[in-house]
Amino acid sequence: MTTKVLDESKPLSSAFAPLATNQLFSARHSEAYWQQATRCIDLVRRKVAQVDRPFTGARPEELRGLFQAVDLDAPLGSLEPALQELSRLYLDDAVYFHHPRYVAHLNCPVVLPGILAEAILSPINSSLDTWDQSAGGTFVEQSLIDWTAARIGLGQDADGVFTSGGTQSNLMALMIARDHYGASLEGHGGNKHEGLSADFRRLRILGSEVSHFSLQKSAAILGLGYQAVMPVACDDHYRMSPESLKTRLEECVAMNLIPIAVVATAGTTDFGSIDPLEEVAALCREHGIWLHVDAAYGGGLLCSRRYRHRLAGIEHADSVTIDYHKTFFQPVSCSAFLVRRRSDLRHVTYHADYLNPRCQAEAGTPDQVNKSLQTTKRFDALKPWLTLRIMGADALGEMFERVIDLASEVHDELVRHPDFEVLLDPPMSTVVFRYRPASLQEVERHEPERHETELDELNTHVRSTLSRNGEAVIAATRVGGRLYLKFTLLNPDTSLKDLVAIIERISHHGQAWCDAQTPTRAVAS
């Protein structure tokens, strides 16, 4: 690829010059802002009204050429041709999470108040790192933190900050747990000032064997390495086993290792399973270990009147991750990290004279940067704020309850089907299964290993065919080394009828694959 060098001797073209001087958001251009914003909104409105499938099935190689033809050094000069290009390059082949047959990842359709909040926060463009850049925005974010902490039950001393997502929140939790341990050592001035203590290679983080991969990423970033994460075995429902956790803690003592944190998951990515928080918390208290609860997925239960009890024990956590952009139906990104004791946030604080001098903190100025890994921070808190002020928490809880109930219904539907294997009753809104047709039973009896390999190939084919045809977007994962399909349900508009239709297409494509393999099997036998 060649790099284009701009010829600075040439003046701006007549088409570009007005665009360059008239596109700055200000009172002077408020009418242009209104007209262009309305045009963009109308484009999305019309596009969404036309969407009849969650995805077109476009492949990377099919879109790559379109982008290679775009010259970013040759501006189009006005909004209309830019929107036409954007439609062709992005909107036409976007993955639409609002479609009822998108049931893949933990991506939710978003509520209107959250979208409207984006329309407010983006042009004003507040940065919530310091009070003098955000004013009332600071109190909006703090109010959401206080509200969430109260729903969790963390107590009056709790605090927190909005983050970019669960990965950043989990990183903050483990960093603070690491530094909390470091601060307890005699003769060590703390990790912030002196770096890691001499025994850092002995530090361990314990999480279930199906916990989020951000634990490993965080351990690497924190200088502890992947090896610092000790997996804890799960029970038959993919929940952390308290007995296995106890054994792991005893192993740490025997091996002269230092467990600094236990991460319990309230809603695993693959299964939606919730660890036994009460029992895990009791073991953490017994051993004096930091307890972090990753409730990125299950946090929406805080708004549920019927299912809130599934989070029993979360109130004992030292820190908690919440993703509003999952089960609170907010636009990405919108997440938070909370701690039981606000003083623990000191481990992320650094005072810069030009931004957040110590004297401001001592005077009580609420600078959010004092408790954040980020400096520049979007005003993402406005989205759940406006949602709560318009809809209320109960409405969000009822939306989440609807997809939890739907997961139970489709689970029962799959169990009744002779050609499907279902892994477990859904703990929340995720259903893990695979197509396992009776026509392959002969292979299973005589060649079990070959049978499993064929099932992997079959289910991989089914998933990719559904996506390629635009019929549905479903997820996949591996359990015990074998590939399973997954419905991740976060859309209250998805119905059992939609899911039954997907099941029928899975059966159709699966049977077609089996029919195509029959001659091959005959030759092999």
184-232 confidence digits (pLDDT tens): 999 898 999 999 999 999 999 999 999 999 999 999 999 999 999 999 9
User: What 3-state DSSP class applies to 142?
Assistant: helix
Whether 261 and 206 have beta carbons less than 8 Å apart is answered as: yes
The helix (run of H) or strand (run of E) holding residue 477 is: strand 473-479
Q: For residue 65, what pLDDT is reported?
A: 93
Residue 373 contacts by C-beta under 8 Å, 6 or more apart in sequence? 163, 168, 171, 172, 348
Q: Band of the pLDDT at 451, cuts 50, 70, 90?
A: confident
- Torsion angle in degrees (nearest 10) through CA of 346, 352, 355, 357: 70
Instruction: At 321, list the tokens.
Output: 């991750």
DSSP H helix total and E strand total for the chain: 19, 12
Whether 486 and 479 have beta carbons less than 8 Å apart is answered as: no
Packed helices 448-469 and 496-524: angle between N→C axes, nearest 10 degrees: 130
Residues 26-39, mean pLDDT to the nearest whole number:
95
* Model confidence at 399: pLDDT above 60: yes
Whether 264 and 293 have beta carbons less than 8 Å apart is answered as: yes
Whether 348 and 175 have beta carbons less than 8 Å apart is answered as: yes
Whether 87 and 43 have beta carbons less than 8 Å apart is answered as: yes
* Model confidence at 525: pLDDT above 80: no
| Closest alpha carbon to 201 in 180, 183, 177, 219 | 219
User: What 3-state DSSP class applies to 173?
Assistant: helix
Q: What percent of the chain has pLDDT over 90?
A: 90
Helices marked H in 72-197? 79-89, 112-124, 131-134, 136-152, 166-183, 191-194
Distance, in Å, from the CA atom of 381 to the CA atom of 335, rounded to the nearest integer, reads 8
Instruction: At 99, list the tokens.
Output: 């479609």
Residue 407's CB is within 10 A of a number of other CB atoms, namely: 22
pTM above 0.85, yes or no: yes
Whether 319 and 345 have beta carbons less than 8 Å apart is answered as: no
Q: In whole angstroms, how far apart are CA 125 and each of 94, 128, 336, 376, 389?
A: 26, 9, 20, 11, 21
Q: For residue 517, what pLDDT is reported?
A: 83
Q: Domain residue spans in the chain?
A: 115-391, 395-524
User: What 3-state DSSP class applies to 203?
Assistant: strand
The helix (run of H) or strand (run of E) holding residue 450 is: helix 448-469
Q: Which amino acid is at 391?
A: M
| Closest alpha carbon to 371 in 322, 338, 404 | 338
Classify domain 115-391 by CATH number: 3.40.640.10
Residue 186's CB is within 10 A of a number of other CB atoms, namely: 4
Whether 430 and 453 have beta carbons less than 8 Å apart is answered as: no
* Model confidence at 63: pLDDT above 80: yes
3-state secondary structure 1-50: CCCCCCCCCCCCCCCHHHHHHHCCCCHHHHHHHHHHHHHHHHHHHHHHHH
Q: For residue 405, what pLDDT is reported?
A: 98
* Model confidence at 446: pLDDT above 80: no
Q: Band of the pLDDT at 1, cuts 50, 70, 90?
A: very low
Instruction: Give the 3-state secondary structure percentages of the chain, helix then strand then coil, rounded to 5.
Output: 50, 15, 35
Lowest mean pLDDT among 161-175, 185-199, 258-272: 185-199
Peptide bond into 127 cis (omega under 30): no
Q: For residue 444, what pLDDT is reported?
A: 62
Q: In whole angstroms, how far apart are CA 388 and each of 337, 385, 395?
A: 19, 5, 9
Q: Band of the pLDDT at 519, cuts 50, 70, 90?
A: low
Q: For residue 21, what pLDDT is reported?
A: 61
Report the CATH fold assignment for 395-524.
Answer: Aspartate Aminotransferase, domain 1 (3.90.1150)
Asked whether the CA dihedral 451, 455, 457, 461 is positive or negative, the reply is positive
Residues 62-83, mean pLDDT to the nearest whole number:
95
Q: What percent of the chain has pLDDT over 70?
A: 94
Beta strand pairing call for 290-295 and 258-265: parallel
Whether 489 and 403 have beta carbons less than 8 Å apart is answered as: yes
Phi then psi for residue 427, to 5 deg, are -70, -30
Instruction: At 110, list the tokens.
Output: 């978003």
Give the N- to C-terminal CA distance of the chain in Å, as an integer.
Answer: 52
